[in-house]
Structure formats: structure tokens, C-alpha cells
Structure 1
């Protein structure tokens, strides 16, 4: 995917305003919904099994984020994935805290096995744990570098026919044929809760218009984070500035700032 196709994907989201169904955690619902609105998509935070079949018949994508996982949510998540499969919709899985507990690890793998059009977005430790390797985890925080998760990501691509996004100081987008490295962003971004969850939600918007890699979402959030950080004095103002930047970001800013390497 070139810079031109990233910009085309952004224009498609703004023109089509795809509906993105989010089964996400209580901590980030507001952040994720606002980020989707700012980029031009239409979010719905739907958790009821009773409406999921109907929602996914006309939605563009399904985002599943296991951040506040419990036994009530798991059957809903699995049912939602089944409905996404039925209607040929992409599923974006955020395996928050995978490796921190058996419940999180096994649930993440169950969802990954079930989803037919899958994108996985996680930090390095989550990706390593999902692949079954030894990972260093501290709750939902990554203690591994994103580079350390490349082998695990390639395993997941093969195992689940998925595309995998590793978030970190360098973001990696791993697919069957190539790996793309992105070095945009700002060191303040990890100090805002749910920044990775925001990327997962945005990935749903771009998947809904045809980007099944996650690259457009990662590229645009990275560039937007850089711009926002220049206008912020700390994590609180960064969060507000990021929403404004996602709303305003344009082709010239992306072309001027994007740092992308294909491996």
C-alpha cells in the first residue's frame, strides 16, 4: 500500500461513513467512539446479542476488544463473530492483556480461530502470547519490543489466515507477502489510556472500506499523534488534540510526515 492508497482509504472512510460495530471495553468506549467519529466513520457500541445479527447484516466491520472481559461478554463476542462471518464482514481483534491470564489468552485464541476475515492488533507482548510464545506482560502493558514479536506475528498470519498489526515505538503491519514498518507517533502517546484501542477501532473503519491490513489506520494515527503532540502540553491535552487532528488531517500532512518502510 502506497501513500496514495492510504489517502484514498481516508477519503473512502469520509465519503462512505461506514458503520463500525464495537464490542469494546468500558475504559475506552468514549475514546474509541470519538476517534471513529473524528475520522469520518459511524461508531456503535453494541453489546446485546439480540441485535447483533441485524447490526452485522448492514455494518461495515466488527471490532472486538477484550479489555474488560468477563463470562457474560464471551458468548456475545463469539456470536458476533459468527454473524460477521455469515455476512462476510472483517473482524478486528484486540487481545488486550493476552498472556496476563489464561482466560484472556484462551478467549483471544477462540475468537481468532472462529473469525474468517481477521485482523489482529496488539502490542508486542500480546502478539507473542497469542502465538503461544513466552511473553513479558504486566497487565495490559507491553514489556517486549515490537521487533521481538515479528516471528510471532508471522506465525499468526499463517495460523489464522490473518493480517497482524504490532503496536510499539515502531508499528509493524505483517501480512502474508510483506512486512511494513511505521515510525510515526510520539513518546507521549502511550501515556493516554486506550491509544492502542483507538487504533483498533480505526482499523475497523478502514477495513470496512477495503483495507484488510490495518496499514492506513496505523499510518494516519501515527501522523496524527505527531501533529497532536506538537499542540499538547501533556496526555490530557494530547487526547483532545488527537481528536481534532484526526478530524482535520489532510493529504499534505500525510505525504509530508509519513515514515514507512517495506521489508
Structure 2
């Protein structure tokens, strides 16, 4: 269904009004913080991942998110079942190809999932570059390349998949292959808290349930940027930042997202 363009403020209003049920197939490390992130923002998480039920659940969820961080054959089967079911009923889904280049098995699972054309593809610059066939020196989950170096790769992947690609880092970019938006803000403490990036993927899924894919990706990034800046003001380090970030997510209002322009279009 084609939705009218929505600003981050409008998307946040819609998210909190709908509290969309979001199926999050994510890694062991991320489950708790991802679920709490969605609850704080106003969505409803469900950490359903087994092949025996993930497909059935994807048919009733408003969005599905896939993160391959702690991959296994059983989890891969659940992921595939979920995305097939999501596509069958027109449910948006998000793919986070964590360190997909780290092993041949991980790369193969990523190719299989990507063939099902995610609504939104989110990764760091190294993951997006490698996914498009480019060179990167990264070997693990952390990016070794600047975000803007991945712009051509992101545009190409968006055209190839027919979806939206979000590249996240110190500056974030989002493209549908034609349009490109950059988002600034957040906190340098965010990469020092485990699984905030994985949680962002889940939140993009929740926003995709209530807004068009590009608007959804931008709204999630803008909300994260605002909450990150707020949490940093009183945080004493990564530990206190983590819980303050959840509080900030819950406290941010739609009006707050209109007061500080963060999005630049090109």
C-alpha cells in the first residue's frame, strides 16, 4: 500500500497511536535492549524466531525484522520462513546483515535473505560496501569505512532490491536509489552500548508498519539521534547512558522532532 510522505514527527505520532506488533528475529545479545527500545518508543516487540512458528507469526505481525548477528541453521530457517510469510501478505521487513562477510555460511544466508527483497536494508558502511561487491578491510561487526564512502553502493543496492538502504555511523544516510537523505545527531556513547544498532533495526521495522519505507528509516534515525543527545547530557559513561537512552526515547515528543532539523536531502 502506498502511504503519503510522513515527517519524523508524524511517523512518531502514528507509531504511538498504533503500537505496531513487530516481530524481531535478532541476536542473543540484542534481545533485551531491542525489546525495551521498542517499548520505550511506543511499539510492541515480539521475539519470535523458531522455524516452527516464525512464519505463522509473521502473518499477523505488522512488521518483521531480521538480524543475523548470532546465526545458526535453526535460526536461519526461522528467518527465511518469516520473510517468505511477510512477503506473501505484504508485511514490511528489515534486514540487518551483521558482518555478513565474516564467513561463507553467513554470506550465503545473507544472499538467500536478500533475494527476498527487504523493505529496508540497514547496515554499517563496511557491510553495505561488501554487500554491493565493493572492498572493505572490516572483518567483524564494527565498520572500517566512512559512511559516505558507501553512498554509491547503497544507491545500487536500493535499485537492485527495490527497497530502501540505510547506512549508519557518525552520520547516517538513507536512499531509495534516487533520493538521498543524511541524518546528523546522536552521541559518541551510542556505539559503546551493546546492541543499540541492532535495536535501531527493530525500530525501523516498527516505523515501517506505519509509514513508507524511506520515511520510516529516517524517522527511526531522527528519534535515535534526539534520544542519544538527551541521554548524553547527564550520562556519566556507557552504563548510565544505556538506561538514560531508554528514558529519553520515551520522553521525546513529536514536537521535539520538529525543533532541531537533522535531515538534509540531496
Q: Same fold (TM over 0.5)?
A: yes
Provide the rounded CA distance (Å) in 2 between the counterparts of 1:233 and 1:258: 27
Give the corresponding residue for 1:215.
218
Q: Distance in 2 between matches of 1:12 and 1:259?
A: 20
Alignment of 1:228-243 (within 5 A): 228-243=231-246
Q: CA deviation at 1:198?
A: 1.4
- Rounded to whole Å, the distance in 2 between the matches of 1:83 and 1:135 is 33
Contact 1:3–1:255 at 8 Å: present in 2 too? Answer: no
Match of 1:248 in 2: 251
Partners of 1:9 and 1:211 within 8 A in 2: no
TM-score, normalization by structure 1: 0.95
2:39 is aligned to 37
CA distance in 2, matches of 1:180, 1:129: 21
Aligned pair 1:97/2:99, yes or no?
yes
Distance 1:80 1:243 in 2: 28
1: distance between equivalents of 2:162 and 2:254?
32
How many pairs are equivalent?
A: 262
Structure 2 residue runs of 5 or longer lacking an equivalent are none
d(CA) in 2 for partners of 1:53, 1:194 = 25
**TM-score (normalised: structure 2):** 0.94
**Equivalents in 1 of 2:78, 2:181: separation in Å?**
33
1:110 alignment partner in structure 2: 112
In the alignment, structure 1 residue 68 sits paired with structure 2 residue 60: no
User: What secondary structure sits across from 2:111 in the alignment?
Assistant: helix
Is residue 99–residue 125 contact of structure 1 (8 Å, CA) maintained in 2? no
2:122–2:201: 8 Å Cα contact kept in structure 1?
yes
Is the partner of 1:28 in helix, strand or coil?
helix
Tell whether 2:121 aligns with 1:120.
yes
Q: Describe the shift of the 1:239–1:3 C-alpha distance in structure 2 as closer, same or farther (beyond 3 A).
A: farther
Whole-angstrom CA distance in 2 between matches of 1:139 and 1:235: 21
**Which residue pairs with 2:229 in the alignment?**
226
Q: How far did residue 128 of structure 1 move?
A: 0.7
Shift in Å, 1:72: 1.7
Compared with structure 1, are the counterparts of its residues 238 and 159 closer, same or farther at alpha carbon in structure 2 (3 Å cutoff)?
A: same
Distance (whole Å) between structure 2 residues aligned to residue 109 and residue 230 of structure 1? 41
Greater CA deviation, 3-12 or 86-95?
3-12
